[in-house]
Amino acid sequence: MKSESRIYLLITSILVLVLFLACDQKPKNPVSEYGDALIGSYKRGQQAGETANLDAVIKSIEAYHAANDRYPPSLDEIKDLIGSNVDLSKYDYNPDNGKVSLKK
């Protein structure tokens, strides 16, 4: 009987210790978590928009190159070809080879 109660006490102690260590984190503020989720979603949406605009910028550079047999000296030259209001300051452009990418 004594050995059974010692085993029971040992198992219970280990279980309590594991539960105590698992609950070591502070409870999180649900409002803060919701706000963080909204901000994260907004930023991912902006990134998706910039990536979609990158495709339009690339196609405009290709159209400029086809019409003028050279790449535009700057992205300002293709503003009219894009057809929408795109913030071109978010893109890196190499006029030597026509390569454009998102700034990091």
pTM of the model: 0.59
The residues spanned by each domain of the chain are 42-104
pLDDT band at 1 (very low <50, low <70, confident <90, very high): low
Q: State how far the Cα of 36 lies from the Cα of 30, in Å rounded to an integer.
A: 10
pLDDT band at 4 (very low <50, low <70, confident <90, very high): confident
Structure tokens of 37?
A: 């989720």
